[in-house]
Amino acid sequence: MPTSVHQLDDGAWLSVNDAREVNVSDLWWLARHDFCSCEMADFLAEGFVEIGVDHPNVEGRIAGQCIDCGESGVTDWLTLGRVVDPDSGRFYAVDTTSVHVPERRRRLARPPE
Amino acid sequence: MPSKVEGWKDEVYGTEIRDHLLQFAEAGWSSIPEDERDAWFERFKWWGLYHQRKGQESYFMMRIGTPNGRLTPEQLRVVGEIAKEYATGPVENPEFGDAYCDWTTRQSIQLHWIQLQDIPDIFEKLEAHDLSTIQACGDSWRNIVGSPVAGRDADEHLNAWPVIQELHEEFKGNDDFSNLPRKWKVSVTGDTRGSGQGDINDLAFEPAVKEIDGEEVKGFNTLVGGGLSRKEERFARDIDVFARPENVADVSAGISALFRDHGDREDRFNARIKFLVDEWGPEKLRSVLQEEYMEYELPTAGENLREQYNYNAGKADEPGDYIGVHEQNDGQYFVGLSVLVGRQSADDVIELADLAEAYGSEMIGLTQRQNLIVADIAEDDLDDFLDEPLLETYSPDPHPFMRGSIACTGTEYCSLSIVETKNRMVRYARWLKENVAVPGGVEDFHIHLSGCTASCAQPQIADISLRGMKTRKDGEPVEAFDIGLGGGLGENPQFADWVEMRVAADEVPGYIDNLLRVYESEREERVVPEEQRGRDGEAVERESFREFIARHEDDELTGMAEPEETSYEDPYLGNTKMTWYPYAEDTEMDAAPTPADD
């Protein structure tokens, strides 16, 4: 079954299969990022700007700010969770209190082949 | 590519949503297909229903639009009765009980904990009394704001009420304008106070005079593209168009059609007309309006009356609201009552309606400062009315901190908010009243507390602006606020300067205390010569708080006062958004009530 993903209520929610799964207002630790100059950004999620899928992951770019340095902006792609079994559509959200690595920075950090 | 919401709107939107809504209500909550819920919840907004946040599944916020914030006492009673019967949740709010009405900054009414199966009965009761939830939310003409006392106010250029009625009739339920790219907020002001707060609306008509064919004509200047949301605040821009009262509907139709056709439907974050005005500029907007949407030559703007504006203007010598006793143009009086954070229990709403009716009032007004007005009190009855016990709670002469405090809905119900708001603002106001000396001469001090950047409490236009944030305290995440200073409207509107960032919520009252001490000791004063003294005979003219802030540079304001823990205790310092309801005994999401059904 296809998985439906989108942001809801002016970016307040990530919705997966019409269930509100990931909310704004949480703090996310971001590592290996270029959001701000902090080594670890203490990022307050204020609104989902874009939602995408990189099977099986559901990803999003989030507007917010680092509460350590005050830098505001939009993150690169962050994994928000994954749909392990598309048939059941069950979504497993990431733990926002753990450490997250935005996608573009991770690619750049890979050693050249 | 059009946004997903646009796709849902293409399938079903506008007036036709009602039939679906009533069918779902008849069949029960579970009849909404699970894979269509997001689409239907988005559509239900058009009929004034907003699905509450996670943990509160199957409950809705219902918004009732009252143009110009006007109700009859009978209508007010009906709203109170509906709140009492239907707006009761599974857990009481510790400050407000279990049934209450919220008066909003856009002069509308919000009820919470509404269940789907009750909507047909509620609609029937509302509509039997000429009230409606139509277009109270969603992408269309929202509630039209202005002065509730239009036609009664002695400080009036022209009576804007007939114009607002005409717009309400024309643009509510009108299929040509039912599906706009985004919300469409309109203000029409005919008074000389600036009470419509047109500067922060998508479309604003403000009082003006213009000489046409040798005759002085009273009408409106037209402003477009104001708004406060998402750190993209804009004051509405003058598009150099004068509208006679009889032409306002035509100009409105032209501009909202322009928005319908040219607004951004691909990116909802870029959809409001303020961004189109940014892109085009007011001159191009005017020329496209003239060439593509108008059938007559638009007159250029007239002379505005902004220098007389005092509403939320931060003046030292004039109040910036409707609180208190005011003489009407017919010799009767209207009385502005303070409703702290705009929330009133259903029982009190009904009692006030009875009281207003007993005194012969024909109009209750909801103001943009979340307060109430009772109009048409005869001079002979005034003392008795002011002695009514209910006015001890909703005072016409409140303490400045109770008078000027505004708060949005917050994490109690709202998905976007980062922090708890209304109960916290109540606690702030009480603590400030009991612990902070009000600087001499200050009667009206505006603190606007908004839970996030959506800015529903209009935080950028207050003496002290509080915008929800998070910070860490002892390593733990806590609710916090960015603090702005010196915003306000009036002749020269000004957005707040954000001077202290991420202040823990329990240190905000101490900051305000410290800041007001600085203001009182450093504000400028001048002795007014006897022949220049006003009616109040005041011998000393003091700098208003807003003027005091404007006199200082940003770097002087930052650090002017220190945030500080005090005796104020904040029970909501932790993450209220993680709860299913912040005031429940067991706040864990797992303890949320199962969806109500059938």
CATH code of B494's domain:
3.30.413.10
Indicate if the pLDDT at residue B432 is higher than 90: yes
Together in a domain, B420 and B347: no
Which DSSP state fits B136?
S
Q: Give B535's pLDDT tier (boundaries 50, 70, 90).
A: low
Average pLDDT over residues B34-41: 93
Contacts of B229 (CB under 8 A, 6+ apart): B272, B453, B454, B455
Burial (Cβ within 10 Å: 0-12, 13-18, ≥19) of residue B295: exposed
Indicate if the pLDDT at residue A2 is higher than 80: no
Backbone angles phi, psi at B596, to 5 degrees: -70, 145
- Give the per-residue pLDDT at A103: 77
- Give the per-residue pLDDT at B531: 72
| Residue contact B37–A18, C-beta within 8 A | yes
H or E stretch at A6: strand A5-8
Together in a domain, B447 and B560: yes
| Residue contact A12–B416, C-beta within 8 A | yes
Instruction: State whether residue B488 is helix, strand or coil.
Output: strand
* Closest residue in chain A to residue B454, using alpha carbons only: A10
Domain boundary, last residue among B308, B337, B360: B308
Average pLDDT over residues B35-53: 95
Q: Which residues of B touch A19 (CB under 8 A)?
A: 34
Residue B313 is assigned to a structural domain of this protein: no
Q: Domains in chain B: how many in total?
A: 4
* Nearest by Cα to B481 from B588, B560, B572: B572
Q: Give B536's pLDDT tier (boundaries 50, 70, 90).
A: low
Together in a domain, B573 and B440: yes
| Helix axes B17-27 and B119-128, enclosed angle (nearest 10) | 130
Domain boundary, last residue among B374, B397, B420: B397
The closest CB to that of A46, out of B34, B452, B575, belongs to B452
ipTM confidence: 0.86
Q: Which residues of A touch B469 (CB under 8 A)?
A: 44, 67
- Find which of A25, A28, A91, A97 to mutate to test the B interface (most B CBs within 10 Å of its CB): A25
* Closest residue in chain A to residue B268, using alpha carbons only: A10
**B199-257 residue pLDDT tens:** 999 999 999 999 999 999 999 999 999 999 988 999 999 999 999 999 999 999 999 99
| Residue contact A42–B230, C-beta within 8 A | no
C-alpha to C-alpha distance for B269 and A11, rounded to whole angstroms = 9
- Give the per-residue pLDDT at B248: 98
- Give the per-residue pLDDT at A108: 41
Together in a domain, B430 and B574: yes
Together in a domain, B224 and B342: no
* Nearest by Cα to B193 from B160, B215, B217, B229: B160
- Give the per-residue pLDDT at B596: 61
Residue B133 is assigned to a structural domain of this protein: no
C-alpha to C-alpha distance for B517 and B535, rounded to whole angstroms = 29
Q: Which residues of B touch A17 (CB under 8 A)?
A: 34-35
Indicate if the pLDDT at residue B451 is higher than 60: yes
**B380-413 residue pLDDT tens:** 999 999 999 999 999 999 999 999 999 999 999 9
List the CATH number of the domain containing B332. 3.90.480.10
Q: Which residues of B touch A13 (CB under 8 A)?
A: 54, 415
Residue B156 is assigned to a structural domain of this protein: no
Q: Give B597's pLDDT tier (boundaries 50, 70, 90).
A: low
Together in a domain, B252 and B334: no
Residue B589 is assigned to a structural domain of this protein: no
Indicate if the pLDDT at residue B473 is higher than 80: yes
Tell me which of A48-52, B69-73, B296-300, B502-506 is least confident: A48-52
Q: How far is B163 from chain A (nearest CA, A)?
A: 32
Tell me which of A98-107, B196-205, B315-324, B504-513 is least confident: A98-107
Burial (Cβ within 10 Å: 0-12, 13-18, ≥19) of residue B386: middle
Indicate if the pLDDT at residue B439 is higher than 70: yes
Residue B596 is assigned to a structural domain of this protein: no
Residue ranges making up the domain that contains B229: 161-308
Indicate if the pLDDT at residue A107 is higher than 60: no
Residue B592 is assigned to a structural domain of this protein: no
C-alpha to C-alpha distance for B314 and B317, rounded to whole angstroms = 9
Together in a domain, B447 and B549: yes
Together in a domain, B497 and B409: yes
C-alpha to C-alpha distance for B390 and B398, rounded to whole angstroms = 13
Together in a domain, B223 and B339: no
Together in a domain, B299 and B349: no
Contacts of B303 (CB under 8 A, 6+ apart): B208, B209, B210
B325-359 in b/e form (b: 16+ CB < 10 A) is ebebeeebbbbbbbbbbbbbbbebbbbbbebbbeb
Average pLDDT over residues A58-78: 94
Q: Give B338's pLDDT tier (boundaries 50, 70, 90).
A: very high
Which DSSP state fits B575?
-
Instruction: State whether residue B19 is helix, strand or coil.
Output: helix
| Residue contact B415–A13, C-beta within 8 A | yes
Q: Which residues of B touch A6 (CB under 8 A)?
A: 4, 38
Instruction: Note whether B171 and B126 are within 8 A (CB).
Output: no
Q: Give B575's pLDDT tier (boundaries 50, 70, 90).
A: confident
Cα atoms found within 13 Å of the Cα of residue A10, Cβ hemisphere only: 23
Together in a domain, B214 and B342: no
| Residue contact A20–B34, C-beta within 8 A | no
DSSP per-residue string spanning B208-220: EEEEETTEEEEEE
- Give the per-residue pLDDT at B541: 86
C-alpha to C-alpha distance for B488 and B311, rounded to whole angstroms = 9
Q: Which residues of B touch A67 (CB under 8 A)?
A: 469-472, 480, 502
**B86-129 residue pLDDT tens:** 999 999 999 999 999 999 999 999 999 999 999 999 999 999 99
Residue B354 is assigned to a structural domain of this protein: yes
Note if the bond before B2 is cis, omega within 30 degrees: no
Residue B469 is assigned to a structural domain of this protein: yes
Q: Give B534's pLDDT tier (boundaries 50, 70, 90).
A: low
Cα four-point dihedral sign A13, A14, A19, A25? negative
Together in a domain, B357 and B413: no
- Give the per-residue pLDDT at A7: 87
| Residue contact B477–A27, C-beta within 8 A | yes
List the CATH number of the domain containing B41. 3.90.480.20
Indicate if the pLDDT at residue B545 is higher than 70: yes
